[in-house]
Amino acid sequence: MKAWVLHSVNDIRFEEPSLPVPKDDEVLIRVRAAGVCGSDIPRIFKNGAHKMPLIPGHEFSGVVEATGLKADSSLKGRKVGIYPLIPCGKCVPCREGHPETCRDYDYVGSRRDGAFSEFVAVPARNVRVLPDNISFEEAAMLEPMAVSVHALRLALGLSADEDSRGKSFFNTDKRIVVCGLGTIGLLLTMFLLERGLKRIYVIGNKEKQREMAVSLGIAEENFLDSGAGDVSLELRKKAGEADIFFECVGKNECVSYGIENTAANGRVLLLGNPYSDMGLSRDTYWKILRNQLLVRGSWNSTFLPGDSEDTEDDWDYVIKRLKEKKIRPAELITHRLSIADLYRGFSIMHEKSEYFCKVMMTNPG
């Protein structure tokens, strides 16, 4: 098979490694589409992976080509999306239904071979069978969509929907700010709009981001350009303080900005992977205390194996809306590349040589 193999930092090669053989509890996936995540770029060019050589890539979909001896043989030939985090199933978070915070996890594409390849082996419990009307490209975006939904559900209290006074926190008039309009920020915006939130303000720094946000349904005047003047002043003129502020950048100044512009008893959700060390000034810390802010991290997404009528995990939430055509993630794909041409996508994202949102690798059936 053909695959991109990361041998060391800044040394990724297009090679023909051996076809993976699924273990007893695994399935072999023929990869049909794979998205390049922002986290893949520092992994390839700056930090390396946990073990190398390694095939990166964790946002993907495909068809089950073969099943291990103990895996469900009826999966063969089915279209599937794949949860890349492989939880231990034994630690306290796993036992409590939070595999995303597993204390001893494996991970497709960073700790074991991933999807920038023609084939990849994954645990059978990590696949979700999909309806025919969800495309392979849409299915390859299940992982970042579920990451966005995870933050949305935490922020809006869709699982625990009361504030500290026992009152419902969620209503469609909440003032929402999304800071950072990469893939996650735009997907989050898409899901907020689908949920019926009416007062959404987005902060970006590119004209293409403005165009994307408007195409999703954001009012032109609700796009704030972080490179044009005092965004804080502009935000307060238009919206006042935010009830919920989503930080999707991972920069210290954006976290501080969020805390300073969130209303009393509001919520700040942190999604952005940090660019560097993070810290808070004394005045910013005071704002958390005096405004009784809830500052919360959001990591990955909740994926519960099997089907349960009683529990809707983040992947169920996304798949339901994809099936009903309530969301349009493929509109965020700016580059479609064959596996042989994928290095061009890595380079565009690394060098920022042109605008990109979602770079997608597609493999023919």
Per-residue pLDDT, 31: 98
Whether the predicted pLDDT of 65 surpasses 50: yes
Q: What CA dihedral angle connects 47, 14, 126 and 135, to 10 degrees? A: 120
d(CA 200, CA 208): 18
Question: Under DSSP, is residue 200 helix (H, G, I), strand (E, B) or coil?
Answer: strand
Higher pLDDT, 132 or 309: 132
pTM of the model: 0.94
Higher pLDDT, 44 or 170: 44
Residue 230: predicted pLDDT: 80
The stretch 52-75 carries a mean pLDDT of 98
Instruction: Give the pLDDT of residue 250.
Output: 94
Q: Quick: pLDDT tens for 88-122.
A: 999 999 999 999 999 999 999 999 999 999 999 99
Amino acid 97 reads G
Q: Give the position of tokens 């946000």.
A: 213
Residue 132 pLDDT > 90: yes
CA 360 to chain centre: 14
User: For the ranges 43-52, 67-76, 158-167, 335-344, which has the lowest average pLDDT?
Assistant: 158-167
Q: In which band, very low, low, confident or very high, does the pLDDT at 160 lie, cut at 50, 70 and 90?
A: very low
Residue type, 130: L
Task: Quote the radius of gyration of the chain (alpha carbons, Å).
Answer: 21
- What residues contact 207, with CB distance under 8 A and at least 6 apart? none
Whether residue 169 has pLDDT greater than 70? no
pLDDT for 163: 54
pLDDT of residue 310: 60
DSSP strand pairing (26-36 vs 119-123): antiparallel
Q: How far is CA 105 from CA 28, 86, 98, 159, 162, in A?
A: 20, 6, 12, 24, 31
Across-strand partners of 59? 35
pLDDT tens figures, 271-289: 999 988 999 999 999 999 9
Model confidence over 286-335: pLDDT tens digits? 999 999 999 999 999 999 986 555 678 999 999 999 999 999 999 999 99
Provide the CA 36 distance to its chain's centre, in angstroms: 11
Q: Are strands 199-204 and 223-225 parallel, antiparallel or unpaired?
A: parallel
Q: Residues for the chain: how many in total? A: 365
Q: How far apart are CA 357 and CA 204, in angstroms?
A: 13
Q: Residue 242 pLDDT > 70, yes or no?
A: yes
The least confident of 40-44, 71-75, 224-228, 350-354 is 224-228
Q: Give CA separation, 337 vs 26, 116, 142, 224, 275, in Å.
A: 28, 11, 19, 32, 27
The pLDDT assigned to 334 comes to 98
100-109, 125-134, 148-157, 351-360: range with lowest mean pLDDT: 148-157
Give residue 233's pLDDT band: very low, low, confident or very high (50, 70, 90). Answer: confident
List, in order of start, the domains of the chain with CATH numbers: 3-133+325-362 (3.90.180.10), 147-297 (3.40.50.720)
Sign of CA dihedral 218, 219, 224, 225: positive
Answer whether 22's CB lies under 8 Å from 71's CB: yes
Instruction: Tell me how far apart the alpha carbons of residues 9 and 283 are, in angstroms, rounded to a whole number.
Output: 39
Pairing state between β 3-8 and 11-15: antiparallel
DSSP run (H or E) holding 193: helix 183-195
- Residues 82, 114: contact at Cβ < 8 Å? no
Token reading at 263 = 């209303």
* C-alpha to C-alpha distance for 261 and 253, rounded to whole angstroms: 12
Give mean pLDDT, residues 216-243: 87
> What does the H/E/C string look like for 124-149?
HHHEEECCCCCCHHHHHCHHHHHHHH
Distance CA 14, CA 7 (A): 11
**Are 26 and 119 spatial neighbours (Cβ–Cβ below 8 Å)?**
no
Strands (E), 184-316: 199-204, 223-225, 242-247, 262-270, 294-297
48 pLDDT above the threshold of 70? yes
CA distance 194 to 97: 26
Distance separating alpha carbons of residues 327 and 308, to the nearest angstrom: 23
